[in-house]
Amino acid sequence: MKAAVLHEVGQPLAIEEVQIDKPGPREVLIRTAAAGVCHSDLHFIEGLYQYRLPVVLGHESAGVVEAVGSDVTYVSPGDHVITCLSAFCGHCEACLTGHMSICDGKETRRQRDQESRLSQAERPVSQFANLSSFAEMMLVHEHALVKIRKDMPLDKAALIGCGVTTGVGAVHNTAKVEVGSTVAVIGCGGVGLSCINGAAIAGAGRIVAIDVVGSKLNLAKQFGATDVIDAANGDPVEQIKEMFDGGVHYSFEAIGHKRTAEQAFEMLRPGGTATMIGMIPYGTKIEIHGADFLQERKIIGCAMGSNRFRVDMPNYVDFYLSGKLKLDELLSRHITLDQINEGFEALKTGEVARSVIKF
């Protein structure tokens, strides 16, 4: 099969032939239909996070089941599925207490003494985030996918596999935004726009989109933003405090920068909650004023929208098909696998919300 392989940090992905193994007892072979080009993959290309190379990247995807292992009962060939990088074991403390997104998922990966799922010339190729969806096929554990209704377009479904679940889930599951509350979202890329959309669905009273790109701020209004702030024209923290007499109830950082993470906390009103969604580079520390905790301001982390993806993702499909979830607006353009490096270049410039590879 064809796949996009990262051989060296900082270099373009190479479109090459990669061998994929047959399904083991609890594994599912998927024919990839669509895969989103996400900023998280870019972090690994640029070396902000490390991964064993060579690796096939990609983690936001949907497809059709091609074959299943002997012990799989959840899906059958022909089923339409969305994949999820937070594969769960189903019986650890995290899973049993409803926190599947932080299960370490070790049991869902092949062990070192087993045959690699992916290879080139008999050399193992790393599988990224249990998935490796920049490829014509994926071989995954059955707990890394969810079955969805067949009237859902798969190019839109792929967006639910990461960005939408992260953004909407951060609002609904992690922060638990309340009806009528005030919300600020820093960063209006795919995740930030989904966060804004999720806040609108949750019934937030006012939703402020913050970015430095005017086109993204205009797009944010389509997703439910009631107000926008161009951070290039002044301190967004001061502007938020002026707009809301002291700050917002909830803020979300959807970029992954030290300063914007600090700003998310600084713009809270007493009792407010700042949720960190963006992937802040490994080793980076953020600084906040300790006295602010005396007014019960909170800062919390978020892993993939604190998802219970086999419940959440079918709900998001229903939200889209009923007109509540805006996926058409999120999908900026379709590209082919051969155009993947162009897709990442467009992502760097901020000119797109999401490019989706159609196979």
Active site residues: 38, 40, 43, 59, 162
Strand partners for 137: 31
DSSP element (H, E) containing 321: helix 309-321
Strands 14-17 and 2-6 come out as antiparallel
Distances in Å between the Cα of 331 and the Cα atoms of 38, 262, 305 are 12, 30, 20
Q: What is the DSSP string of 40-101?
A: HHHHHHTTSS--PSSEE----EEEEEEEE-TT--S--TT-EEEE-SS---SSSHHHHTT-GG
Q: Count Cα neighbours of 276 within 13 Å in the Cβ-side half-sphere.
A: 19
Nearest to 105 by CA among 141, 68, 63: 141
**Rg of the Cα atoms in the chain:** 20
Residues in the chain: 359
Q: How far apart are CA 89 and CA 349, in angstroms?
A: 38
Cα 262–Cα 39–Cα 163 angle in degrees, nearest 5: 90
| Residue labelled with tokens 């030290």 | 258
Question: What are the b/e assignments for 112-145, b being 16+ CB within 10 Å?
Answer: eeeebbbebeeeebbbbbbbbbbbebbbbbbbbb
Helix (H, G, I), strand (E, B) or coil at 324: coil
Q: How far apart are CA 84 and CA 139, in angstroms?
A: 13
Q: Which amino acid is at 155?
A: D
